[in-house]
Structure formats: C-alpha cells, structure tokens
C-alpha cells in the first residue's frame, strides 16, 4: 500500500445489509473504504487482511456514495435546520470462483 497505510486505514468495515448478504453467495463482498483509497490499495488490503485464508481478488469496483440531505424543523416550524450526512466510498470486491471469506461478520 502506498504511503505506508495499513489495511485498517484503507478498508474500514464490511457493509451489513440484505443486498451485501445476497451478493456474498455470488462471491462479491462489499466494504466501506477510505474516500481516497484506490482500487489497487483496496485489493491489496483485502488480500493482506485475509491472508490466512489465501483468497484471490479477481476484481474491485468502487462507488462514491453521496451523503443524504437531512432537514428538520424546530417546534412550531419557525427555524429549519438543514445538513448533510457525510459521503463515503463503497468497494465491491469479487473473489475467485469457489472462494469465500469465513467469519467476516463475526463481532459486527
């Protein structure tokens, strides 16, 4: 990894959702990553993180998820507070056929 970043600094955590569970059956795993992480860094970080299982990353796709607009009104509707949740980067990592990551969601 460039600039001496550890894999914890590149891959933050797995995304826990129904869609991510469904894609695990096809060999695709979804992770939340650092916004400035590249595909090569993500590939290397996943291979290092699960080196004991000897996985082969075939493909990495990234998506920049925009933050949602949040608004709320104060009592009586006089003052309106508008904000935005922070954006983040999602990485979809495809493993070689027949491979899977064991124990990914333990402790989540």
Q: Which CATH number fits the domain that encloses residue 22? A: 3.30.70.330
In a domain, residue 45? The reply is yes
In a domain, residue 100? The reply is no
In a domain, residue 16? The reply is yes
In a domain, residue 102? The reply is no
Q: How many domains does the chain have?
A: 1
Other CB atoms within a 10 A radius of the CB of residue 84 amount to 11
In a domain, residue 101? The reply is no
First to last CA, the chain: 25
Q: Residue 9: what pLDDT?
A: 87
* pTM over the 0.85 mark: no
Residue tagged 């590249």 (tokens):
38
In a domain, residue 105? The reply is no
pLDDT digits (tens, 9 = 90+) for 15-52: 999 999 999 989 999 999 999 999 999 999 999 988 88
Give the range of the structural domain holding residue 37, as residue numbers without chain letter: 2-95
In a domain, residue 60? The reply is yes
């Amino acid at each position: 990894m460039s600039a001496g970043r550890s894999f914890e600094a590149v891959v933050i955590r797995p995304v826990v959702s129904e869609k991510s569970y469904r894609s695990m059956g096809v060999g695709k795993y979804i992770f939340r990553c650092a916004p400035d992480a590249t595909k090569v860094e993500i590939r290397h970080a996943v291979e290092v993180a699960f080196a004991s299982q000897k996985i082969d990353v075939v493909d990495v796709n990234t998506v920049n998820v925009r933050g949602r607009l949040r608004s709320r009104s104060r009592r009586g509707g006089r003052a309106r507070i508008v904000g935005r949740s922070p954006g983040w980067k999602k990485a979809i990592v495809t493993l070689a056929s027949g491979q899977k990551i064991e124990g990914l969601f333990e402790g989540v």
